[in-house]
Amino acid sequence: MPHTPGSGPVGENTRALSLPEAPVPAERPLRMPVYRATTYAFDTSQEFADVMSGSQDGYSYARIDSPTADAFASAVAALEGAGLDETVHGQPFSSGMGALSTVLMALTEAGAHVVAARSIYGNTYSLLDGLLRRFGVSTDFVDVTDPDAVRAAVRPETRVVFTETLSNPTMTVSDLPALAQIAHEAGARLVVDSTFASPAICRPMEFGADVVVHSATKYIGGHSDTTGGVAVAGRDLIDRVRATRVDLGPCLAPDEAYLLHRGLETLPLRVARQSESAAALAAALEDHPAVERVDHPSLSSHPQHALAGKLFDQGRCGGIVTVHPKGGRDAGMAFADRLRLSTIAPSLGGTHTLAGHVPTTTHRTMNEAELGAAGISPGAVRFSVGLEDPQDLVDDALRALDNG
Ligand SMILES: Cc1ncc(COP(=O)(O)O)c(C=O)c1O
């Protein structure tokens, strides 16, 4: 409520609630303001009614829309849509899972069918295989590197083909143009989780994706201090995603939105450096006698090395490297424990290099046969390469292998 001088004496509480408002500066602030308000005021009841009904654009309540979160989502949309003729739009979320669950619910209904990549993030798998199945949405999980398997799995009720640009932990590259074609021929949408790539490596909508989703917690935020998510799509689909988000409620908090927006400014610098360092680490470890295999698309031994060259910008292949040491589970865990520069921790995409034994952590629910089928050896250790000097990371990893 604005301060109204001269309106007569009022009680101390009214006075406390009638303080002067912060000025709106005429100059442009160099940083994006953080709007913490949950609630917005109107001059008239008609304006209030028009904004609430959607006949007039505006802000009313932060779970519905909020300026700082919107600015973040629009910024991601600008990056994802940089090479497109049409304008694409973003929706902000409180987490990557908030974005994924909302998008998948927005595009399906009871009786609908999804074709999803077999090796996807564990919670996305359980969302599709558990929660959504309970609500009548069935999913077939297939090897997305085999287009015939994807084509064979789609059916008239298929609404979504779902994949990740780069999958965890083997860094499998999805053939996005082929998947888009299969989805569209079946009347379905291609939804891509591009968390491991980020728009600094690949923009899936340029290759036919209909919706791109990120856990912004990872590369977009980039500093392991913020949880958030974002979805980008054309106008019709993003309106459906927004309406579903408003009902489900995973709205992005303004302070988180500010940090994620700030992260975007250094995203290409960070991801370029992380990709280069990851490639150097992968190349240095691949031929070590204690190593069975290294997964990184920069290596010519990687099954999708050539595809990465077609889809990814400037040879960048991401900051995740998975090393398969010889000697099984104990050797892998001991290798991770001997690393000094890398911290044993979950998550990825931050400034510090993190390492983790895959079968006992991110993929602990898979049995030996499933791990084997997914190309994950019992000793697999995943690195999320940070911004340290690459030679230091290489030296540290070689020392940890040599001393095994
Ligand atoms: C590929 C991928 N997608 C989605 C998520 C979920 O993101 P969040 O933890 O922000 O909900 C993760 C988290 O690790 C992820 O790795």
Which residue out of 76, 123, 127, 172 has the highest number of ligand 1 atoms within 8 Å of its CB and is therefore the one to mutate?
Answer: 123
pLDDT band at 121 (very low <50, low <70, confident <90, very high): very high
Per-residue pLDDT, 315: 96
How far is Cα 208 from Cα 196, in angstroms, rounded to an integer? 18
CATH 3.90.1150.10, the chain: domain bounds: 268-402
Question: Model confidence over 216-245: pLDDT tens digits?
Answer: 999 999 999 999 999 999 999 999 999 999
- Is domain 268-402 in CATH 3.30.70.260, yes or no? no
pLDDT band at 366 (very low <50, low <70, confident <90, very high): confident
**β-pair type (291-295, 320-325):** antiparallel
CATH 3.40.640.10, the chain: domain bounds: 65-262
Average pLDDT rounded to a whole number, residues 357-363: 94
How far is Cα 317 from Cα 271, in angstroms, rounded to an integer? 9
Count of C-beta atoms within a 10 Å radius of residue 83: 11
Average pLDDT rounded to a whole number, residues 283-306: 98
Architecture of domain 65-262: 3-Layer(aba) Sandwich (3.40)
Count of C-beta atoms within a 10 Å radius of residue 57: 8
Question: Model confidence over 167-219: pLDDT tens digits?
Answer: 999 999 999 999 999 999 999 999 999 999 999 999 999 999 999 999 999 99
Average pLDDT rounded to a whole number, residues 31-48: 96
Distance 373 CA to ligand 1 centre (A): 22
Per-residue pLDDT, 374: 87
Ligand 1, atom nearest to 218 Cα: 10
Which residue out of 215, 220, 363, 382 has the highest number of ligand 1 atoms within 8 Å of its CB and is therefore the one to mutate?
Answer: 215
**β-pair type (381-384, 211-215):** unpaired
Enumerate residues lining ligand 1, CB below 6 A: 95-97, 121, 123, 164, 168, 193, 195-196, 215, 217, 227, 229
Q: What average pLDDT is seen over the chain?
A: 96
Measured in degrees and rounded to the nearest 5, phi and psi for residue 58 equal: 160, 170
> Catalytic residue numbers?
63, 121, 193, 218
| Cβ neighbours of residue 57 closer than 8 Å, sequence gap 6 or more | 51
pLDDT over 90 for what percent of the chain?
Answer: 94
Please give the torsion angle defined by the CA atoms of residues 130, 131, 133 and 136, in that order, rounded to the nearest 10 degrees: 170
Average pLDDT rounded to a whole number, residues 96-107: 98
How far is Cα 348 from Cα 333, in angstroms, rounded to an integer? 18
Q: Is 90 exceeded by the pLDDT of residue 42?
A: yes
Question: Model confidence over 299-335: pLDDT tens digits?
Answer: 999 999 999 999 999 999 999 999 999 999 999 999 9
Count of C-beta atoms within a 10 Å radius of residue 340: 11
Closest CA to 250 of 232, 223, 264, 231: 231
Ligand 1, atom nearest to 347 Cα: 14
For the chain, what percentages of helix, strand and coil (3-state, to nearest 5) are there? 40, 15, 45
Q: By alpha-carbon position, which residue is closest to atom 15 of ligand 1?
A: 121
pLDDT band at 132 (very low <50, low <70, confident <90, very high): very high
Q: By alpha-carbon position, which residue is closest to atom 8 of ligand 1?
A: 96
